[in-house]
Structure 1
Amino acid sequence: MSVLVVIPARFASTRYPGKPLVALKGADGTAKTLIERSWLAAMSASGVDRVVVATDDARIKAAAEGFGAEVVMTATTCRNGTERCAEALDVLAAQYDIVVNLQGDAPLTPAWFVEELVAQLRAAPEFDVATPVLRTHGAALNGFLEDRRAGRVGGTTVVFAADKRALYFSKEVIPYRGKTYADDDETPVFHHVGVYAYRPAALQRYIAAAPSALEDLEGLEQLRFLDIGVPVLCVEVEARGRAFWELNNPEDVPRIETMLFQMGLN
């Protein structure tokens, strides 16, 4: 089955304008832009046939082509990364069995997250969309709670059924917890990792539907799938000692740079 990875990137982010071109220092002090680090993460995954950056901005296009990425220009009217992936697939006019959306704000995404996601979707014909989830330990959960107390929108959490079908995604921390957790404690909270694998048919259903009320309220594109009855498979992945964090706010830059240093990633 052929696999296309699309990295959607837009300059006009509501929370952090210009985010794809923000420089992040690695362990050796070398600075690379967020979009380059996300592209490198995508390129490191095995079993991928093609990786493209999808953007509507000439500055991002120039930067991406500067480090060797293939770029697909998409419309400014794309409301989110899933719509941009659908348009990129249309522009490329090529047939792929699976399209992976590796969002351009996830430079710490390990290759095995993408590989496991594709493998699980291949093995589950009853699902047309899959996304990785990561069980949090207390340190990550406490980071989410700290963000919420400070009025920052941090990581997304998810709850799912016994068959791994997603029930709900939220920028609030779900489910309710009646206790606190030490940094090393395993918790019942799952961090939703901002990567998706779709079959092309699911992308067509998505763009044919209007944005849902919950999608607009939460600012989470994947809720449209749940609203129109497309089941989303939650694939539990293992961190294997790697830290994971998305760049959502300017305050996340030093946090991610610290993680790059600790993991020895240049």
Structure 2
Amino acid sequence: MHVTILIPARYASQRYPGKPLAELTLPDGSRRSLIRMTWDAAMAVPGAARVAVATDDDRIAEHARDFGAEVIMTSETCRNGTERCADALARAGIETDLVVNLQGDAPLTPPWFLSELIEAMEADSGAEVATPVLRCDPTTYGHFVEDRRAGRVGGTTAVFGEGGRALYFSKEVVPYIAPGAVPDPIPVFHHVGVYAYRPAALARYIDWAQGTLETVEGLEQLRFLENGAAVACVEVDARGRLFWELNNPEDIPRIEAALKEL
């Protein structure tokens, strides 16, 4: 398959303005921006024909070009990363079999997550969209619970049925587990903020209106579910690595600690 990886990045995040330009301290003491780390992760994926940053912000564009990234300028009206990928695809006139959306807040995303996502789309012709899910280990589940107790919106959880078809995504911790009754293995799956779309699915997405679930949860992928699109959840293995996204400033110490364990 001809695969294009797009990295949608916006400056005006409500929870964390300027997040793509936030710098993390690496184990060797050097500093690197979140968008640069995401670019490095994308470039490590074997077989991608093209990698580009999609943004409407000149500050992000200038920074990305400085470290050698291709940049596609998009409309300021894009409301989420999926809309930004669709806009970038159209503006750049890209013809491809598969578009992978690697959102710029997951520097701990291993390249094999994307490789397995691409392989799943090759094998499942009925899937219009695919996204990785990762079974929570006790540490990650603890982060979810800690964030909700503190009133923070942390990561997203995914619920799916037989065959891996998505049933729902939420910023709440679902399914609910009563305190002190956490089973082993933990039946909570962390949704990894990566998507693979067939171009036709992207084209339909921008024609659909935002639904109630997408609006209240603030999760772009729910638009696909609300319109009956087949979304495949692909279970991936972190291979002993901690995965966490940078959703809030409080996540920086967690991610920097995880980087030291790589």
Shared fold (TM-score greater than 0.5)? yes
Matches within 5 A, 1:182-197: 185-197=184-196
Mapping of residues 104-253 of structure 1, within 5 Å:
104-178=104-178, 180=180, 185-253=184-252
Q: Deviations over 1:103-143 (max 9, x none)?
A: 00011100000000000011100111000000011111111
- Three-state SS of the structure 1 residue aligned to 2:133 is strand
What is the CA–CA distance in structure 2 between the aligned matches of 1:75 and 1:262, rounded to whole Å? 39
Counterpart of 2:19 in structure 1 is 19
Report how many aligned residue pairs link the two structures: 262
Relative to the length of structure 2, the TM-score reads 0.98
Question: Gapped runs of 5+ residues in structure 1?
Answer: none
Q: CA deviation at 1:94?
A: 2.1
Give 2:251's aligned amino acid: D
Alignment root-mean-square deviation, CA? 1.2
2 CA distance for matches of 1:53 and 1:192? 22
Aligned residue in 2 for 1:3? 3
- Does residue 41 in structure 1 map to residue 41 in structure 2? yes
Matched, 1:53 2:53: yes
- One-letter amino acid of the counterpart of residue 255, structure 1: R
SS at match of 1:82: helix
Structure 2 partner of 1:83: 83
- Structure 2 unaligned runs (5+)? none
Counterpart AA for 2:118 = V
Taking every aligned residue pair, what percent have the same amino acid on both sides? 61
SS in 1 for 2:108: coil
The answer on whether the counterparts of 2:246 and 2:252 sit within 8 Å (CA) in structure 1 is: yes
1:188 alignment partner, SS class: coil
Query: Residue 163 of structure 1: SS of its match in structure 2?
Result: helix
**Structure 1 residue matching 2:164: 3-state secondary structure:** coil
Q: Distance in 1 between matches of 2:225 and 2:212?
A: 11
What is the TM-score normalised by the length of structure 1?
A: 0.96
Kindly indicate whether the alpha-carbon contact (under 8 Å) linking 1:3 and 1:100 is maintained by their aligned counterparts in 2. yes
Cα deviation, residue 25, structure 1: 0.8
